[in-house]
Structure formats: structure tokens, C-alpha cells
Structure 1
Amino acid sequence: MNGAIPVLRGRVQAGAPLAPFTWFRVGGPAEWLVRPADEQDLVALLAGLPAGMPLTVLGAASNLIIRDGGLPGVVVRLGGAFGGVVVEADGLVAGAAALDVTVAQHAAAAGLAGLEFLSGIPGSIGGAVAMNAGAYGAEVKDVLDWAEVATAGGIRRLPAADFAFAYRHAALPPGGIVTRARFRAAPGDAAAIAARMAEIRAAREATQPVRARTGGSTFKNPPGHKAWELIDAAGCRGLRQGAAQVSEKHCNFLLNTGGATAAELESLGEAVRSRVLAHGGVQLDWEIKRLGLPA
């Protein structure tokens, strides 16, 4: 045992820095960082954890602020064994660690249409299922057949209906971790698929700060509104707090301009929410997850 961690075949590390994994490049360490060797190792971890031990799953860590005091308990990061993509005649099966854009590229290479939107989502498949990720007019719920979820009792394959998908939300079994998912796709025209993906890439690069230290869309779009328009109207474009800044290019993105703390990013986000509420009477809800302890 490593303290309270069961013996595993994968890698277990105490006090591991997490900031390098996150797109914002901020945040404190994990009390325990665990990289399971495979699905069986992951199930053994879940089955062997003491009751009440905090558990966090880290995917591509794109849509995430880890607070400066770090994450207590166990942080799970799924690696290569969970990154495979298998193309089938009418869809594909992807591991939770596969990047969304990689899955879109595999589908395109096989002449399968309907998954192009994944190329516009900066994350991994496990996170995409867990939050019903979407972009460019489609979301995971539109194309998911099933997903496999690891629990303390083993691996369960659940049909899409069991996730009770809503906007940026999925209901997973308590303590469950997505390990694989199957997506429907249909044979399509290779040139049209390539053109659609090029269009998405160009739209992202033209409108979003894709090369900056950012976390993707900060706030959910409230019903009947676009979050960026509300933020812009409230005078928040370019607003700064320390080294954290609201992007000038797309004001629903926060930036770490260099040396920002998680506290500065979160505080800036809260300032934006306050200004939007005061100006337009609309409550913005965070889309970015904020996890862990303050410094």
C-alpha cells in the first residue's frame, strides 16, 4: 500500500505537480497521482480505495482550473492503454484518453461522416462523454451508442439513454469513470468531410485564442443568449486580474498571459459574472470546472 492506495501495476506518485497537464498551466499538486495500467488496474483502484477518499479524473485538462492548493485524495490520469481508436463500418470505438480531434481524424480517414464536430472540441473522449461536449451544431448525445464505465464492481457498458444527457451534462454511475465509447457515423464523401473539418479548424483559429494558455469556453450559454455577447456588452473584453485576462479575441475565454495563479483566473471569472449580472440581469454559469483547494 502507498498510504491508502491499493497496490497497482500502474504508476502511483505522491505530491505530483498537476499544472503541466492543464491547458492553463496553473494549479497545485495531487496528493496522489495514479496512472492505471489498464481497465483491470483501474477497477482494482476503485475497489480498493477507502470510503470517503476524494477521487478526481483528469482527462486532457482543457476545460479545467485546478486551484493553487492542489487536489486532495487520488487523481486518476488515463494513459496509452485507454487511447486506442478502432474504426468499424458504421462508427468507431474510442478509448477515454483518445483526443476528440484524433477521433474526428480517424473517422475522416475512413470516410465516415457525422463526427467532424469533435475536431472543434479541445479535450479527450472520456471528458466529452462525461460533460456531453458539443460544438458547431452537434453534441456527444447525438452520436453516442454506448460507453463503458469503470466502477468498483467492474466495467459496465451503458447505452446512451442511461446517461440522461442534458446541455453540457451527463449522469454517470457514482464514482464511475468512462473508459471507452462507441460513436455512430455514416459513410460519406471524403472531400466533403475534409472540407467540413477544415472549415471548423479555420473558424476556431479565426475566432478563438487557440495558441494561448486558456481553458476553452468559460461560461455556458444561458438560454436564449450567447455568453460572449453578454460579456462583451458588460465591458469585460480584455479585463485583467493580475496575469489573468479576458481574451480580446473571444471574450468567453480566459487567458493566463504568463505567471497567473488559479486564484486570479477564478477571481476574474467571478468578476465577469458579477458585471454581466449587474449589466444585463443574466446569471452566467461556469462551464469550466474549478477543482481543489485554495492556496
Structure 2
Amino acid sequence: MTASDQLTLPQLEGSAERGGSLASFIWFRTGGPAEWLVRPKDEADLARFLAELPNEVPVTPIGVGSNLIVRDGGVDGVVVRLPKSFADVTIEPGNKVRAGGAAMGITVASAARDAGVAGLEFLRGIPGTVGGAVRMNAGAYGREVKDVLVEARVVLRDGSAETWPLDKLGYTYRHSDVPEGAVVVEALFKGTPGDSATIGAEMDRIAAEREASQPLRSRTGGSTFKNPPGHKAWALIDSAGCRGLRVGDAQVSEKHCNFLLNLGNATSAEIEDLGEEVRRRVMDKTNILLEWEIQRIGSYD
């Protein structure tokens, strides 16, 4: 029993669903439900809701779940998923792009392309939302969010809303100082003047490279492990003989070893167990302990 079993939620203009399915949209298509799945109407609605929500109730923001394992027991407390009202993307003077936390990376990159703003092309290769990308300093093709972010709008667990400049986010590799329970609702990016055709060609190159090298049409969770300093995680995994390794219906991708797959009926436990077995084999072979890049949340069944 959790602290929120008998919880009556604060008033919300958006929607709140008890036992809301997460497996219906998480990329792996596995895992248990949210105790409460909340979709606020707008920033004011979210801020008011969090301010009135008892402090002991955990809050977990989720975007599209493209880099996430939701464990089979589900997620206690409140899961916040921003709806399409948080997905607007607008161009501002000075080669800046303002994007809502629910906007997809490809949408931001495309808007920048159409406006002749260069430097955001790599967001085409990040299959998650702006909120998730800001929180984890997502990166691809030699660039990271920290390279293009000006500021981020954050609604904290206590319901206060703040605009954080880049230096307050404390970025390191795939990490930020955005606190637990806080929700990134907006970000402002800055690029440089560019030619739309050239920008589009670079985005097309990124898309083609991803298609050729990653299992994009599978039930997956993106890059599983962080690249250790001086190494590529996929190469370490391959050298440890893990290509194609299976636990139940979970498999290490044969196309890209740093991707785990749900072949159809895997449980989250099988996917996580497979990841831990990969870590063990890589450690035995190379004396390097891989760090999870995929976020793992919730309770075991």
C-alpha cells in the first residue's frame, strides 16, 4: 500500500486517470500502469495541481517513453504526461526556437529548418520530447542539448514555476540538475543563420543514418547504456559476445548492440534482466562497468 492509495487528487482542468496505462505508449510496450496518469491543461493547471498535491505523493514526468523501462509493478503516485497543448513550436528573433515540453525533437528541428535556423539538426535524431531531452541532456551526432539551450521553463514539485538559464541546469553527460518531481514545460533553443536546403539535407542524412544503423521499427528503448570515456558501448557489448543475446522475449539487437528489443511478449523484468546480464558480461570481459542510460522507474511485479 502506498501513501497515495486513498488519495483524493486536487482539482484539475485536464484529465486524471487512475490505473492509466503506460505500456500503451512506452516504446517497449511493457510495464505496469500508473497509479494516477495526469494530463494537465496548461502550465497554470499543472502548477496549481502540484502545489495542492500532498508532498509525500511522488511525481514522475514521462514524455513518449522512448528511453524508459517501466517496471511490471507500475509506478506509484502521479505520472504527469504533457498533452498536445504543450507541443507548440515558435520561431523568435535572433535564430531562437521556443518549444513546449511535449514537442518532439523532429518537430523542433523541422521548424528551425523552415526558418533557416541551423545547429538544431541533431534534434532530428532524438526520438523523444523536448522535456525529456532537456532533463537528460540528450544528444546525437556530436551535439547535446547543452550546446543549443538558452533556458528552460520548469514547474517544480511544490508548484512553483521558474525559468532556468543554461548554467543552472548543471549539465554533464546525459544528466541535469532538474530535481525529482519537476516537469520541464518549455525550452528556448538558439541556433545560427543557415540555408534551409542545407539544413534539410543534414536532417535527411541523420534520418538515413539512423534507419541504416538502428532498429527503429522495433519495440525498443533507444540507447541502453552510456558510452564510457574513450569507448563505444555497442562495441564493448559486441566484444563480450552479447549480440543477439536473449532473456525470454527480450533480445540484444543484432543490428545495433546498444539497443534492447521486445520481440513481442517480453516483460519489463526480462528486458532489465537482459541489460544486467550484458553489464555483467562486459565487466567480465573488459573490466568496464556500463552505466544505464535508459531510465528505469516503478516497482517490480
TM-score (norm 1): 0.98
Counterpart for residue 115 of structure 2 = 110
Pick one of 53, 63, 73 that aligns with 1:59: 63
Q: CA deviation at 1:175?
A: 3.1
Matches for 1:219-238 after TM superposition, within 5 Å: 219-238=225-244
8 A contact 2:71–2:297 mirrored in 1: yes
* Range with bigger deviation, 84-93 or 132-141: 84-93
Counterpart for residue 185 of structure 1 = 191
What is the rounded CA distance, in whole Å, between the counterparts of 1:190 and 1:26 in structure 2?
39
Pick one of 272, 275, 282 that aligns with 2:278: 272
Calculate percent identity across the aligned residue pairs. Answer: 58
Counterpart for residue 205 of structure 1 = 211
Q: Give CA-to-partner distance per residue, 1:134-166, whole Å, 9 cap, x none.
A: 000100000000001112243211100000100
* Range with bigger deviation, 153-162 or 54-63: 153-162
* Range with bigger deviation, 134-143 or 149-158: 149-158
What is the rounded CA distance, in whole Å, between the counterparts of 1:144 and 1:18 in structure 2?
29
Q: CA deviation at 1:6?
A: 0.5
Counterpart for residue 29 of structure 2 = 25
Counterpart for residue 294 of structure 1 = 300
In structure 1, stretches of 5+ residues that fail to align are: none
Amino acid at match of 1:275: R
Q: CA deviation at 1:174?
A: 5.1
TM-score (norm 2): 0.96
In structure 2, stretches of 5+ residues that fail to align are: 1-5
Name the SS for the 1:181 alignment partner: strand
Does the alignment pair 1:12 with 2:16? yes
Pick one of 163, 169, 177 that aligns with 1:171: 177
What is the rounded CA distance, in whole Å, between the counterparts of 2:290 and 2:56 in structure 1?
31
Q: Give CA-to-partner distance per residue, 1:164-196, whole Å, 9 cap, x none.
A: 100000101453211100000112012211111
Matches for 1:81-100 after TM superposition, within 5 Å: 81-89=85-93, 90-100=95-105
Does the alignment pair 1:128 with 2:137? no
Amino acid at match of 2:253: S
Q: CA deviation at 1:29?
A: 0.6
Does the alignment pair 1:141 with 2:146? yes
Q: CA deviation at 1:20?
A: 0.8
What is the rounded CA distance, in whole Å, between the counterparts of 1:159 and 1:75 in structure 2?
26
Counterpart for residue 223 of structure 2 = 217
Name the SS for the 2:177 alignment partner: coil
Amino acid at match of 1:105: S
What is the rounded CA distance, in whole Å, between the counterparts of 1:285 and 1:64 in structure 2?
14
